[in-house]
Structure 1
Amino acid sequence: MKKLVSIIVLLLSLVAYPQEANKLFAEGNTFYKEGNYTRAVGVYLAIEEQGLESDDLYFNIANCYYKMNKVAPAIYYYEKTLKLNPNYADAKSNLAFAKRMTIDVIEELPKTFFQRFSASVIQKLPFDTWAIIAVIASFLASLLFLMYHFSSSTKRKLFLFNATIFSVFVLAISVFFAFNNFKTVQKNRTAIIFAAKAEIKNAPSTNSDEVFELHEGTKVIVLDELDNWKKIKIADGKIGWVHSDELKEI
């Protein structure tokens, strides 16, 4: 009996949990429409602290910080939005505006053909979406092959054979894209500089020489970490060490 009661309580809590989050989200939207961005972002962050995440939630948090002229957290949450949903057009547009508030002007290194193709095609969809496409393609290929095997018409057999080959091709491409996307996401640990001015050192030590400096809102790639230091790389290829407190990983 106690187990049954516990299960019922658990189920009720699971139902109430998203309802409470939706209520808070609506409350935050009301504050935002009233122009009370401080209270709005407080409500949105309370939802995030519950372990919930969504592209709309991160987008709204970013908008609040943008309205408050807080460049680093605005860019951070726009980037988090795009990490969940790379095709979020409004987030891309607003991120471009937010980046105009940054101080650092970094010229990116030219990309190879595969890097451009990856950014424009492979990274357009999350790796789990490519995986779903691969599963659908495998099911379709199996179904088409069975239809081909039991078909008696020559023309129908030819069509089903070609369709099966095409499905297998889509399956192979989708698996490759999913694996490549997953590997890219795992390898590219990105972060945003939150310090007003961060001194980038040539070694993970306060006594080491400064090689360059960065300012809030700049996006970096995290290559390695040691104690309270992170080895970073910026878009122009420069590498250095920064204290962990001065940036926040996306």
Structure 2
Amino acid sequence: MKNILFTIALFISLVAVSQTADELFSKANKLYQTGKYTKAIELYSSIEKQDLISDNLFFNLGNCYYKLNKVAPSIYYYEKALKINPRHEDASINLAFAKRMTIDVIEDLPKTFLQRFSTSVIQKLPFDTWAIIAVVASFLASILFLLYHFSFSSKKKLFYFNTSIFTVFVLIITVFFAFQNYKTVQKDRTAIIFVARVEIKNAPSTSSEEVFELHEGTKVIVLDELDNWKKIKIADGKVGWIYADDLKEI
């Protein structure tokens, strides 16, 4: 009886939290529409603190910061929206506009064919979406094999056999894509510079030599960390150390 009451209480609390979040989101949207961007950010952030995150929540936060001409937070939240949903076209478009406000001009290193394929195909969908496609393909393959096994017509047998082979191929490909995408997400730690100007050192020490400098809004890859320092890499291949408080991981 206690377990049933606990389950009911938990369900009611979850529904209440969901309704509160929806109300906050609606109020924040209205504040944004009336140009009250700072107040909208407060409400959107309160939803984020409840771990009720979504691509649209981050997209709206990015829009608010963009309207306030805050480069780093706008880029940061557009990137977070795209990390959840790489197909969010509005976030991708607005991110391009936000990047125009940055100072640093960094040329990307040439990418291999596999890197380009990963970016343009594998990373176009989240790994969980690839996994769902793989599960659907496995069910289809099983059903088609059963239809092939119990069919008496030679034409139908040939059709079911060929389609089952195709769905197995799709299954293998999508499982591979899901695994590669997941591995990329787990391995690649990216961050945004959150200070107007920062010196990148050749060692994790304030007394070490400066190798280059970066400015607010620039995206970097986090390679390692030591105490309050993080080792970063930028798009052109340069590597250095930065104080951890000067950036924010996506």
Partner of 1:8: 8
Query: How much has 1:244 moved relative to structure 2?
Result: 0.3
Partner of 1:32: 32
- Pair 131,6 (structure 1): closer, same or farther in 2 beyond 3 Å: closer
Matches within 5 A, 1:75-90: 75-90=75-90
Matches within 5 A, 1:111-190: 111-190=111-190
Partner of 2:97: 97
Provide the rounded CA distance (Å) in 1 between the counterparts of 2:153 and 2:4. Answer: 58
Structure 1 consecutive aligned stretches of length 4 or more whose deviation exceeds 4 Å: 1-5
Partner of 2:62: 62
Q: Which amino acid aligns with 1:44?
A: Y
Extract unaligned runs of 5+ from structure 2. Answer: none
Extract unaligned runs of 5+ from structure 1. Answer: none
Provide the rounded CA distance (Å) in 2 between the counterparts of 1:8 and 1:144. Answer: 41
SS of corresponding position for 1:87: coil
Matches within 5 A, 1:221-236: 221-236=221-236
Provide the rounded CA distance (Å) in 2 between the counterparts of 1:85 and 1:138. Answer: 24
SS of corresponding position for 1:206: coil
Partner of 2:197: 197
Q: Which amino acid aligns with 1:45?
A: S
Partner of 1:46: 46
CA RMSD between the two structures: 1.0
Query: How much has 1:6 moved relative to structure 2?
Result: 3.8
Instruction: Among all aligned residue pairs of Structure 1 and Structure 2, give the percentage whose two residues are the same amino acid.
Output: 72
TM-score by length of 2: 0.98
Q: Which amino acid aligns with 1:99?
A: K
Query: How much has 1:11 moved relative to structure 2?
Result: 2.0
Query: How much has 1:8 moved relative to structure 2?
Result: 3.1
When the two structures are aligned, how many residues end up with a matched partner? 250
Provide the rounded CA distance (Å) in 1 between the counterparts of 2:94 and 2:227. Answer: 35
Provide the rounded CA distance (Å) in 1 between the counterparts of 2:242 and 2:235. Answer: 16
Provide the rounded CA distance (Å) in 1 between the counterparts of 2:184 and 2:107. Answer: 22
